[in-house]
């Protein structure tokens, strides 16, 4: 018996277990699984196919990692897998499916929190520090930037992107890309301002937050087309890293970006009211 492994767990002899790994009752760990030091697998979990779990990752009871993707074109002999970065927490009954292409990976970054009953589909790429709230559905080939938050019961259609530090509200239907730093919600999801609270918590300076609010006004409150708004941003705003990231994201939006939501326009800091768009920086 391996220390830390419950006697009822089925752990293939070819699986690689790091020091201090703990595996709960009735868990199933396949031959291609690799578990980093200090990882903890809950009761009744299943790890199948190529699953690489980083150090100190916690997987809640009943979760399935590396399952067959829900893609009718997928062939069972395709060598693909799931990678999960160090210090990430996967809560109970989460499903994460392996990629569909040979050599491909469904990837979840470091220090993420994937809450109860959420689903991460094949070929998704989730950045470091992302939070996915209960019952959210991340469909195939989606990309979520670092420290973004996906609200409960939100659904992303395939190939959509959510930028870094963005916040998608609960019950939202995301059918277009959500730019970095933006707060979006609704069905379909629409932009309602800059995620000031998230940026402040992340240590983004007040000057940079104001600059992003200026960029937001040009993009969503000026009445300009996205193409013309981008031109204005390049003409009028400093070439700061956060603004450049926003411009690069918009340029790569194959599905377009989410539309503007209804709400008051922020004219200046002194007239700001307590709305997500205009919250004090």
82 domain-assigned:
yes
Q: Are residues 157 and 214 in the same domain?
A: no
Q: What is the mean pLDDT of residues 214-218?
A: 98
pLDDT value for 140: 98
Q: What percentage of the chain has pLDDT greater than the value 90? A: 92
Lookup: tokens for 51: 């699953």
Which domain CATH number covers 232? 1.20.1180.10
Same domain, 122 and 150: yes
pLDDT band at 38 (very low <50, low <70, confident <90, very high): very high
pLDDT reported for residue 149 = 98
What is the domain extent for residue 168?
10-199
Point out the domain boundary residue: 150, 184, 199.
Answer: 199
Q: What is the pTM of this model?
A: 0.93
Mean pLDDT for the chain overall: 94
Residue 262 has pLDDT above 90, yes or no: no
The Cα–Cα gap between 221 and 4 comes to 57
Question: Which neighbouring-strand residues pair with 253?
Answer: none
**Residue 281 pLDDT:** 66
Residue 265: pLDDT band by 50, 70, 90 thresholds?
very low
Q: Two tokens at 23?
A: 């595996």
Q: Which pLDDT tens digit goes with each residue over 97-134?
A: 999 999 999 999 999 999 999 999 999 999 999 999 99
User: Residues with catalytic annotation?
Assistant: 122-123, 140
pLDDT given for residue 30 in this prediction: 98
Tokens representing 96 are 């994460």
Residue-level pLDDT at 2: 86
Pair (81, 163) in one structural domain: yes
Is residue 138 situated within a structural domain? Answer: yes
Shared domain check, 219 and 146: no
Can you tell me the mean pLDDT for 55-77? 97
């Amino acid at each position: 018996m391996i220390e830390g492994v419950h006697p009822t767990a089925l752990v293939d002899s070819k699986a690689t277990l790091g020091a201090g790994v703990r595996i709960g009752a009735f868990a199933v760990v396949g031959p291609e699984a690799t578990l980093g030091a200090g990882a903890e697998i809950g009761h009744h979990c299943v790890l199948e196919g190529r699953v690489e779990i980083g150090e100190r990752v916690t997987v809640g009871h009943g979760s399935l990692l590396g399952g067959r993707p829900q893609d009718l074109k997928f062939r069972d002999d395709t060598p693909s897998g799931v990678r999960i970065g160090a210090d990430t927490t996967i809560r109970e009954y989460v499903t994460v499916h392996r990629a569909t292409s040979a050599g491909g990976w469904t990837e979840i970054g470091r220090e993420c929190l994937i809450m109860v009953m959420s689903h991460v589909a094949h070929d998704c790429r989730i950045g470091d520090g992302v939070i996915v709230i209960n019952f959210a559905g991340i469909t195939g080939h989606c990309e979520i930037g670092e420290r973004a938050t996906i609200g409960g019961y939100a659904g992303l259609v395939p190939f959509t992107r959510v930028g870094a530090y963005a916040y998608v509200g609960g019950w939202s239907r995301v059918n277009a890309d959500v730019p970095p730093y933006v707060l979006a919600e609704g069905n379909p999801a629409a932009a309602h301002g800059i995620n000031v609270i998230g940026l402040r918590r992340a240590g983004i300076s007040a000057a940079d937050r104001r600059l992003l609010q200026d960029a937001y006004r040009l993009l969503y409150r000026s009445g300009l087309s996205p193409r013309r708004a981008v031109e204005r941003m390049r003409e009028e705003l400093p070439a700061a890293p956060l603004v450049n990231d926003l411009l690069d994201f918009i340029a790569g939006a194959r599905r377009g970006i989410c539309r503007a939501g209804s709400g008051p326009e922020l004219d200046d800091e002194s007239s700001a009211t307590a709305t997500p768009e205009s919250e004090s920086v």
